[in-house]
Every structure is written in structure tokens, then in C-alpha cells.
């Protein structure tokens, strides 16, 4: 029944209305606080709806082939649709509280899908890790919503946006930082990025849908949706940009040392979301480019994840790229579709990444002082490192000499898997140009994020573009010489390497740091609290009970049941009273 008014509103939106709101029912009637559950259809939410439904549909089709032999595939599709429903609720909500419902639903569905094969203890541990790390970020989002209620008396988008102009900068900064904490958890941004690599334990379609195209972009959506808050809180906005810059470099460094094809793509996702977060932290100059790169990334990264699944399908579920090599001759469709995604993420013109990621690099060089040099330099270096590790992945998998284990017989995947890959490959090639043509997408988002002004970077645009392409070419060439050409020797086992490489293989020791700073102190604190409760609180309560019992036993001695004892006690009492009165007088 709800579909009828929503479809009617979409028709109205197509006819010229840019923002349409559908109030569904009274949700939280609590005194003066009245909150209706409603859906908001505007250019920002519709961009996400189209991405979620289109890419999600392709991944559902792909999953028909990928999960064909799995006995629990019905449960898999139930979880997958639960995720899609929760993600749609997240982006269509008209208030932060309803967004939080979808936010938690996405977290639950992600937990279920990551741990889908939970008979493997390592996979169950990965699901728990993702769940616990996301709870840290969710605490930030819940506190932000509470602070909004205290500050504005409401938590719907319209009231918060209207009140942001009158609230103090300190309050808005606190809200912005708490929202950023929530975004870091869901989008695997520093310092809450540790769960993403382990999340590759789930089936490959899960990696494509949740950890490339949709869930990890929820944090970017939250920041861009909250643009009235960040525009009025420049320090919080700068924090968003710094987190993005740090994460894009962090993910790029980790990606250089990964031999697991899915974990290398996961590190790439972390880095690319960092680019989006950096753009969102640049304010009006970057909001549209953040969402534009989010859309193009959803296509080319989902395509590459599905390509990785196709390789695994043809290689007996092997994920070690050192055991691949030369697969392009045997899996031509996978090679071609994956190659288009590879060119797109590198930012090679005219593919999609060139029109979105390079715009973020240009926007990062806008500003005054040292800030544009630091942010722009980080984005520029990230582009070169991305070219190296993504080319390393492509060459180790599809080019060079074959390094297969005995008994491997690589073969192309069925049409149910390759057709979605081909459709995504078309988006990898063309979507960026379509969105950037005549600044179409920036104008589309302007009612929500503001008009994109004519900002001039500290370096001219041709110089930035030239430097970016030069670094990309250098990264590709270095990867080709080491992993791609026929003369290159790629050992089937990881060799001893430098300290930085060993650190990157261990995810820059993020787990060791988390365990040292949080887990072990938390365990000590828990044991201390439990010990105090056992030794002090419980023993104290038992001691008081024992004292009362002892006093009661002593008092019982006077209850003999003999009348002469009671008469003697009464006589003693009378004598004591009379004696006291005599002394007083």
C-alpha cells in the first residue's frame, strides 16, 4: 500500500519537483516530542536508491550461479534481501532516528552474511569482529542523535538543518565529530577500519554488494546528508577530510602487500572510500564529487569483486594470487570485464574513475595555506600507489606465466555470473562521463549540497591532471616489470621483504594495536571489576548478613520462655530508670 504514494511522488519528482516527503505514521508521540516515520525522496537519496537496486539486482543474478551448489542458498538470499531492505530504509529515512533503524539493520545483515559459513570458526570470528567494531561507531551515531534532540528538540533532517544556523559552533562540532565516529565504523575508516579485511570471509557476492557498493558507503551518505552541520562546524569538517586522507593512504599501503585477491580488493575499497570521505570533508567544493565517485566506484569495484569470484569459481576457490597467472587466456570475459574495472579505478581516461577520482584530487588542492598541499599531496600519492597495487593484482592474476597448483583447470563462469559482470563493466567504462557531462550530476545534487562554485586549486588543473596520470603510469610500469611481463619471476610463496612490507602484510599491525590499547586493558578492567564485585561487594554484603545473624543469635539468648527471667529483666529495667531519674534530680 505504501508503494502507491511513493511511486506517485517519484513521478512528481521526474516532472520537476526536487524533494518529496511522504509521512507514513506517528512513530514517537512523547509529550512535546512528536516524530513521524516518513520517507524522503530527493536527489541524494535517489542516487543511492538507484545504485542499491540496480547493482543489487545484478548481484542477485550473479549469486544464482555462484551459490548454486550451496545447500543453504535460501538462507543466503533471505539475508541478502534483508540487507537491501535495511539499506533502502537507511537512505530513504527522513530523520536521523529512522536512519538509525536502517543503520542497525544493515549492521545485523552484514553480520549474518559475513558469518554465513559460520561452521568455520575463523569466519564466525570475522563476523563477530565486524559486529563489535561497528558497535563502537554506532555509539557515536546514537550519541549524536541524543545531542541533536537536546540542541534542536527534534531529530528530523529539516529541523536539524534549520537549527544548525542558530546552534553554537562548539555544539555543532561535537555533533559532527560523533557523526564522523559513526561513519568511520560503517565505512571502515581510520581508526575503525580493522574489520573490513576479515569481512572477506563471507561469500564473494556479499563482498561485492555490502563491502564495495553499498554498506561501506553509508558513512559517506551520513556525512553528506549532514552537510548543514559540517558547513557550520569547520573543525569537524576538517576532521572528516583528515580521516579520509589518512585512510586512503592506509588502504593503499596495505593493498600493496596482500596476496589474497579479495583482501587486496578490500584494501582498495578502504582507500577509495577514503577518497570519498576526503571529498566530503572539503565542503561544497567536494560533496558532489564524493557522491559521484561513490556511484562510479559502486560499479567498477562490484565488477572486480564479481570478477574475483569468477576467478575463484574457475580455480577451485583459490584466493592466493601467487597461485594464478596467465588466466586471461582461459577466462576471457572475466579478464575483459575485470580489466575495464581496473582501468576505471586507475583513473585512466576516458573511464569512470578519471571523471570522479581525479575531480576529488583537484578539489583537494583548493584552499589556503598548507592544507591544500597536504590533502592534495595525499590524494596524489594515493593515486600512484593505487595504480601499483591494482596493476599488481591484475597482472598476478591474468598475465605472466601460470603458477597453478596441480589439478587446477581454469574455466569461464556460466552466463548467470558473466552477464552481470558485463553490465557492470559498461558502467565502469561510461558512467563517469555520463555523470560529469555538462556538470549534470553536480547540478542534480545542488538542492541538497549547494551549488559547486568556481574554486581555483593552488595548482592549475592541467598540471594536477598531468601529475596524476604520470604517477599512474609509473605505478603501472613498476607493477608490470615486477609481476606482468613474461620475464618477471613471481614466487609462489611470499618472500622475505622489508619492514614496511611485513607491516603491510599484517595490516600495519592494526589488530595488535587494538588488542594492546583496548582488548587487553578491557580484559584487565573486566577482571578487576569482577574481582572487586566478588571480593568487596559480595563479601561485604555477606559480612553484613553474618553480623546481623550473630547479633540475632545473641539476642535470642534473652528469649528463654521463663516468666521469672522476664520479671527479673523488667525489675532491672525499673531499677535502671529510677536510678537515672534520681541522678538527674
C-alpha cell belonging to residue 215: 554498506
- Domains of the chain: total: 3
564: which residues sit within 8 A by CB, 6+ positions away?
none
Produce one character per residue of 465-476: b if its CB has 16 or more CB atoms within 10 Å, e if not: bebbbebbeebb
pLDDT value at 142 more than 80: yes
Do both 83 and 118 map to the same domain? yes
C-alpha cell belonging to residue 303: 565488477
| SS3 call for 33 | strand
Grade residue 2 by pLDDT with cuts at 50, 70 and 90: very low
Run of H or E residues at 20: strand 20-30
CA nearest neighbour of 364 among 356, 376, 374, 381: 376
pLDDT of residue 342: 95
Cα-flanking dihedrals φ and ψ of residue 20, to 5°?
A: -130, 135
- DSSP 8-state class, residue 198: H
C-alpha cell belonging to residue 207: 563482498
Do both 333 and 390 map to the same domain? yes
Pure H helices in 440-519: 440-449, 461-479, 499-505, 510-514
Distances (CA, A) of 337 to 76, 233, 300: 26, 43, 9
pLDDT value at 538 more than 90: no
pLDDT of residue 518: 75
Neighbours of 422 (CB within 10 A): 15
pLDDT of residue 423: 94
Whether residue 513 lies inside any domain: the answer is: no
* Mean pLDDT of the 326-339 span: 92
CA angle 47/48/51 to nearest 5° reads 90
pLDDT of residue 317: 84
* Mean pLDDT of the 487-505 span: 78
pLDDT tens digit string along 403-422? 887 777 888 989 999 999 99
Name the residue with higher pLDDT: 492 or 219: 219
pLDDT value at 402 more than 80: yes
pLDDT of residue 1: 43
pLDDT value at 488 more than 80: no
pLDDT of residue 22: 82
Q: Which of 5-19, 306-320, 378-392, 453-467 is predicted with the least confidence, judged by mean pLDDT?
A: 5-19
Whether residue 423 lies inside any domain: the answer is: yes
Rounded CA-CA distance 105/84 in Å is 10
pLDDT value at 573 more than 90: no
Do both 552 and 411 map to the same domain? no
CA-CA-CA-CA dihedral for 365, 366, 372, 376, to nearest 10: -20
* Mean pLDDT of the 321-331 span: 89
Rounded CA-CA distance 561/181 in Å is 72
Whether residue 210 lies inside any domain: the answer is: yes
pLDDT tens digit string along 4-48? 545 555 555 554 556 788 888 888 787 777 788 889 999 999 999
Do both 426 and 533 map to the same domain? no
323: which residues sit within 8 A by CB, 6+ positions away?
315, 403, 404, 405, 408, 492
Q: Which of 444-453, 458-467, 476-485, 554-563 is predicted with the least confidence, judged by mean pLDDT?
A: 554-563
Do both 376 and 522 map to the same domain? no
Domain range enclosing 577 = 518-584
Do both 344 and 408 map to the same domain? yes
pLDDT tens digit string along 270-320? 999 999 999 999 989 889 999 999 999 999 999 999 999 999 988 888 888
* Mean pLDDT of the 429-433 span: 92
Q: Among 484, 505, 526, identify where a domain stops.
A: 505
Do both 37 and 48 map to the same domain? no
Do both 482 and 559 map to the same domain? no
Find out whether 388 and 475 touch, Cβ atoms under 8 Å.
yes
Whether residue 537 lies inside any domain: the answer is: yes
pTM, 2 dp: 0.88
Distances (CA, A) of 295 to 38, 46, 300, 358: 25, 12, 9, 14
Do both 32 and 97 map to the same domain? no
Whether residue 512 lies inside any domain: the answer is: no
pLDDT tens digit string along 60-80? 999 998 888 888 889 999 999
DSSP states along 317-346:
T--BGGG--SGGGT-HHHHHHHHHHHHHHH
Q: What count of Cα atoms within 13 Å lies in the side-chain half-sphere of residue 336?
A: 11
Whether residue 510 lies inside any domain: the answer is: no
Kindly report the average pLDDT of the chain as a whole number: 87
Q: Among 482, 505, 528, identify where a domain stops.
A: 505
Q: Among 505, 534, 551, identify where a domain stops.
A: 505
Please state, for a pLDDT cut of 90, what percent of the chain lies above it. Answer: 49
Residues 423-427: contacts with CB under 8 Å, at least 24 apart: 423/58, 424/55, 424/58, 424/299, 424/300, 424/302, 424/303, 424/306, 424/337, 424/341, 425/303, 425/336, 425/337, 425/340, 425/341, 427/296, 427/299, 427/300, 427/303, 427/352
Rounded CA-CA distance 354/462 in Å is 13
Name the residue with higher pLDDT: 530 or 452: 530
Q: Which of 84-93, 261-270, 551-560 is predicted with the least confidence, judged by mean pLDDT?
A: 551-560
Whether residue 35 lies inside any domain: the answer is: yes
Produce one character per residue of 248-262: b if its CB has 16 or more CB atoms within 10 Å, e if not: bbbbbbbbbbbbbbb
If you average pLDDT over each of 206-220, 349-363, 396-410, which comes out highest? 349-363
CA nearest neighbour of 227 among 288, 295, 271: 288
| SS3 call for 22 | strand
Whether residue 511 lies inside any domain: the answer is: no
Strand 20-30 and strand 33-41: pairing? antiparallel
Do both 34 and 165 map to the same domain? no
Do both 36 and 55 map to the same domain? no
Do both 96 and 17 map to the same domain? no
Amino acid at each position: 500500500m505504501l508503494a502507491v504514494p511513493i511511486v506517485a511522488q517519484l513521478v512528481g519528482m521526474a516532472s520537476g519537483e526536487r524533494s518529496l516527503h511522504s509521512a507514513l505514521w506517528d512513530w514517537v508521540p512523547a509529550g512535546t516530542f512528536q516524530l513521524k516515520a516518513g520517507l524522503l525522496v530527493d536527489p541524494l537519496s535517489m542516487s543511492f536508491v538507484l545504485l542499491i537496486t540496480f547493482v543489487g539486482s545484478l548481484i542477485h543474478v550473479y549469486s544464482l550461479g555462484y551459490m548454486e551448489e550451496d545447500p543453504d542458498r535460501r538462507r543466503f538470499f533471505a539475508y541478502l534481501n534483508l540487507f537491501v531492505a535495511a539499506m533502502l530504509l537507511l537512505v530513504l529515512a527522513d530523520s536521523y532516528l529512522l536512519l538509525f533503524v536502517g543503520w542497525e539493520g544493515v549492521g545485523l545483515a552484514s553480520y549474518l552474511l559475513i558469518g554465513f559459513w559460520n561452521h568455520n570458526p575463523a569466519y564466525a570470528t570475522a563476523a563477530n569482529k565486524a559486529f563489535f567494531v561497528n558497535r563502537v561507531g554506532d555509539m557515536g551515531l546514537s550519541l549524536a542523535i541524543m545531542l541533536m534532540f537536546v540542541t534542536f528538540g527534534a531529530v528530523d533532517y529539516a529541523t536539524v538543518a534549520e537549527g544548525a544556523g542558530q546552534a553554537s559552533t562548539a555544539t555543532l562540532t561535537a555533533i559532527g565529530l560523533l557523526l564522523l565516529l559513526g561513519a568511520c565504523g560503517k565505512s571502515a575508516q581510520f581508526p575503525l577500519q580493522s574489520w573490513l579485511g576479515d569481512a572477506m570471509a563471507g561469500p564473494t557476492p556479499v563482498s561485492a554488494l555490502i563491502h564495495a557498493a553499498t554498506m561501506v558507503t553509508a558513512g559517506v551518505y551520513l556525512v553528506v546528508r549532514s552537510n548543514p552541520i559540517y558547513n557550520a562546524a569547520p573543525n569537524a569538517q576538517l576532521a572528516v577530510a583528515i580521516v579520509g586522507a589518512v585512510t586512503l593512504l592506509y588502504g593503499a599501503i596495505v593493498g600493496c602487500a596482500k596476496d589474497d585477491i579479495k583482501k587486496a580488493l578490500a584494501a582498495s575499497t578502504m582507500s577509495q572510500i577514503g577518497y570519498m570521505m576526503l571529498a566530503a570533508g572539503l565542503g561544497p567544493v567536494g560533496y558532489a564529487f564524493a557522491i559521484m565517485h561513490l556511484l562510479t566506484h559502486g560499479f567498477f569495484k562490484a565488477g572486480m569483486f564479481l570478477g574475483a569470484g569468477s576467478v575463484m569459481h574457475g580455480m577451485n576457490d583459490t584466493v592466493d594470487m601467487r597461485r594464478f597467472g596467465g588466466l586471461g587466456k582461459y577466462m576471457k570475459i572475466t579478464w575483459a570485464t575485470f580489466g575495464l574495472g581496473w582501468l576505471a579505478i586507475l583513473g585512466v581516461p576516458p573511464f569512470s574513475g578519471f571523471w570522479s577520482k581525479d575531480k576529488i584530487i583537484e578539489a583537494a588542492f583548493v584552499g589556503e595555506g598548507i592544507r591544500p598541499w597536504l590533502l592534495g599531496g595525499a590524494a596524489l600519492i594515493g593515486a600512484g600507489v593505487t595504480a601499483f597495487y591494482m596493476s599488481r593484482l591484475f597482472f598476478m592474476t591474468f598475465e605472466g606465466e601460470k603458477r597453478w597448483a596441480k589439478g587446477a583447470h581454469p574455466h569461464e563462469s556460466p552466463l548467470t555470473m558473466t552477464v552481470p559482470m558485463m553490465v557492470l563493466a559498461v558502467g565502469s567504462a561510461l558512467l563517469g562521463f555520463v555523470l560529469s557531462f555538462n556538470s549534470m550530476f553536480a547540478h542534480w545534487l545542488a538542492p541538497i549540497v549547494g551549488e559547486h562554485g568556481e574554486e581555483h586549486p593552488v595548482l592549475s588543473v592541467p598540471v594536477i591532471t598531468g601529475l596524476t596520470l604520470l604517477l599512474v603510469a609509473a605505478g603501472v610500469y613498476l607493477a608490470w616489470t615486477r609481476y606482468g611481463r613474461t620475464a618477471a619471476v613471481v614466487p609462489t610463496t611470499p618472500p622475505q621483504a622489508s619492514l614496511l612490507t611485513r607491516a603491510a602484510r599484517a595490516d600495519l599491525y592494526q589488530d595488535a594495536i587494538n588488542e594492546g590499547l583496548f582488548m587487553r586493558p578491557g580484559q584487565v578492567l573486566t577482571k578487576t571489576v569482577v574481582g572487586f564485585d566478588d571480593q568487596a561487594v559480595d563479601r561485604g554484603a555477606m559480612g553484613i548478613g553474618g553480623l546481623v545473624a550473630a547479633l540475632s543469635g545473641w539476642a535470642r539468648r534473652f528469649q528463654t520462655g521463663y516468666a521469672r527471667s522476664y520479671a527479673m529483666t523488667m525489675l532491672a529495667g525499673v531499677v535502671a530508670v529510677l536510678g537515672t531519674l534520681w541522678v538527674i534530680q
